[in-house]
Structure 1
């Protein structure tokens, strides 16, 4: 899938190096330290989980690169999770800090939501209260705060944004 500045593609096991690089970056995982990984084995397992989700559902997390570049700058997509015992699509976006502030996360999210809207599940984003940038991306994509759905998360409160 192409956007004005990005190429989004399905993950492959060779992406484990980029998964490790971005998910061991403390700044990239500042608001979700539980997502941090430290070993190549963990990166391969995470990547394999993303691949298996694609195989099961036909959608999932995409690998992000700037058009014309082989360098992976992050990941964005949706996966099926349960929220209050109901299946939902959790919107995920994580970019390397060097790509922050340029609107690339919003561009990737818009592309992903264009595909996700055809799925039979509601789309939500779980955002930590202090993660102002993530909330801005969610709001810019048309998601709205849904306080009645907020939950405790692995790394603190999950503020739920819903499409």
Structure 2
């Protein structure tokens, strides 16, 4: 089922059949540098399963981004429940196959997700948690109209990782 459409893309729920395509994204060390490790096969399965659970619980999560011209899954973009310094947010996230970087796909899909968040879910703000050195993601967030509202430390696998909290308020 298609959730969102843009001029070049459509977004739909992830499904177990997407495993190989998702592996090509989440197991690429260059793509996953912000996580500091590529996912194992088991972690990819768990990640897809978690997204499917969240669709039922929250009504949103990462969606598969399909390029219309090729009918290929090129990335994932979606709305995700996040937390920073004990405050809960709905954030935007985007992860793409490296060969599709620099073509405006993250911005295009994220723009559609933000419209969905404001107009369908009736949220009044969207956030993004981005590592300071992730300049490409920071540029996407800024192009979306988001601005940094604070710096915080995110704990991941027993490590403290600095992040910036970007925010867009309706």
Fold equivalence (TM over 0.5): yes
Matched residue SS, 1:146? strand
> Which structure 2 segments of 5+ residues have no match?
none
Q: Which has the higher contact order (CA 8 A, sep 6+)?
A: 1
> 2:126 matched to 1:123?
yes
**Is this contact kept in 2: 1:89–1:121, CA < 8 A?**
no
In structure 2, what is the equivalent of residue 157 of structure 1?
162
**Is this contact kept in 2: 1:63–1:75, CA < 8 A?**
yes
Higher strand share: 2
Query: TM-score when scaled to structure 1?
Result: 0.90
In structure 1, what is the equivalent of residue 138 of structure 2?
135
Q: For the residues of structure 2 that align with 1:23 and 1:29, how far apart are their CA atoms?
A: 6
Query: TM-score when scaled to structure 2?
Result: 0.87
In structure 2, what is the equivalent of residue 50 of structure 1?
51
Q: 2:40 aligns with which of 38, 41, 51?
A: 38
**Cα root mean square deviation, aligned:** 1.6
- Following superposition of structure 1 onto structure 2, how do residues 5-20 of structure 1 map, counting pairs within 5 Å? 5-20=8-23
TM-aligned CA deviation for residue 119 of structure 1: 4.1
* CA deviation string 1:50-78 (max 9, x = no partner): 01111111112110111143321100011
